[in-house]
């Protein structure tokens, strides 16, 4: 379905927090010259440019207690870690500009006459999920009717080793901040406020359950596809950048 001119609206619930930005095909500041670099692969850059990049709204980390940065608040998950990470702690940094202190945002503009606290990081209380935590985003997403938001790990970008779990949210009606589930890495992790941590793309709800079939070898589709493949091989022989010449979309192009 076609989307409105503004595909996503963000409603901040805390002031001055880093907000999502449109993703770019550029995944590094300096791109080497010459052939064979990843940025010459249009499928790579087109995927990198999908949707929105989500910055961490807070400074946080997970590390041995002795590595907690000065001035940060350390705390433990309700379920103690076992193995090599036993004794490790999480930490967050207060940020008065964002109304964030003690691992909680203070939402003050809600029409209920009192502040509401929303955690920055929270946890599951099951031993089989001690490797997971939740990173709360202090804003609400709004998309057009029948359009969902798929939250994903960063596409083709470094992620501090954090493994964001994919989640599909019906953001045309969902009224609360999104809480992203994250699997912590096996090494210390230190995330700055504003570091990219996840990506989000829009999915029309009618596309949730597509069907699939296998074309019969004698079908017109199979014959036409095999013919197109022969033409593709010939085109690549003439020009190794044939894909960029033939591609219909501008999505992901670096020029």
Question: Is residue 47 a contact partner of residue 155, using CB atoms and an 8 Å limit?
Answer: yes
Give the model's pLDDT for residue 129.
Answer: 87
Give the model's pLDDT for residue 6.
Answer: 63
Query: Domains in the chain, ordered, with CATH?
Result: 9-207 (2.70.40.10)
Closest CA to 106 of 20, 17, 175: 17
What does DSSP assign to residue 198?
A: E
Give the model's pLDDT for residue 111.
Answer: 87
Distance from C-alpha of 35 to C-alpha of 153, rounded to nearest angstrom:
28
Give the model's pLDDT for residue 4.
Answer: 53
Distance from C-alpha of 109 to C-alpha of 99, rounded to nearest angstrom:
12
Closest CA to 164 of 145, 148, 151: 151
Give the model's pLDDT for residue 1.
Answer: 47
Tokens 């550029």 sit on residue: 26
- What is the side-by-side strand order in the sheet with 60-64? 73-75, 88-92, 60-64, 189-191
Task: Give the tokens for residue 171.
Answer: 């953001």
Per-residue pLDDT tens, the chain, 255 aa: give them: 455 556 899 999 999 999 999 999 999 888 888 888 888 888 999 999 999 999 999 999 999 999 999 999 999 988 877 788 888 999 999 999 999 999 999 999 888 888 999 999 999 988 888 899 999 999 999 999 999 999 999 999 988 999 999 999 999 999 999 999 999 999 999 999 999 999 999 999 998 888 999 999 999 999 999 999 998 888 888 888 887 777 878 888 886
Distance from C-alpha of 228 to C-alpha of 223, rounded to nearest angstrom:
9
Question: Is residue 85 a contact partner of residue 189, using CB atoms and an 8 Å limit?
Answer: no
Closest CA to 14 of 57, 64, 74, 73: 57
């Amino acid at each position: 379905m076609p989307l409105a001119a503004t595909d996503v609206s963000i409603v901040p619930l805390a002031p001055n927090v880093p907000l999502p930005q449109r993703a770019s095909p550029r995944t590094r500041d300096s791109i080497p010259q010459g052939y064979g670099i990843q940025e010459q692969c249009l499928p790579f850059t087109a995927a990198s440019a999908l949707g929105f990049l989500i910055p961490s709204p807070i400074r946080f980390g997970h590390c041995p207690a002795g590595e907690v940065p000065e001035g940060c608040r350390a705390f433990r998950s309700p379920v103690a870690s076992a193995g090599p990470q036993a004794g490790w702690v999480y930490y967050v940094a207060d940020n008065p500009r964002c109304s964030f202190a003690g691992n909680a945002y203070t939402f003050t503009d809600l029409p209920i006459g009192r502040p509401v606290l929303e955690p920055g990081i929270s946890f599951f209380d099951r031993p089989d999920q001690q490797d997971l935590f939740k990173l709360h985003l202090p804003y609400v997403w709004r998309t057009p009717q029948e359009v969902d938001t798929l939250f994903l790990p960063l596409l083709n970008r470094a992620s501090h080793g954090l493994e964001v779990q994919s989640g599909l949210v019906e953001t045309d009606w969902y009224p609360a901040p999104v809480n992203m589930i994250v699997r912590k890495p096996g090494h210390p992790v230190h995330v700055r406020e504003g570091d990219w941590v996840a990506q989000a793309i829009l999915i029309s709800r009618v596309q949730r359950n597509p069907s699939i079939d296998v074309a019969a070898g004698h079908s017109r589709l199979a014959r036409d596809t095999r013919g197109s493949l022969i033409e593709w091989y010939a085109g690549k022989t003439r020009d190794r950048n044939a894909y960029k010449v033939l591609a219909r979309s501008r999505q992901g192009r670096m020029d």
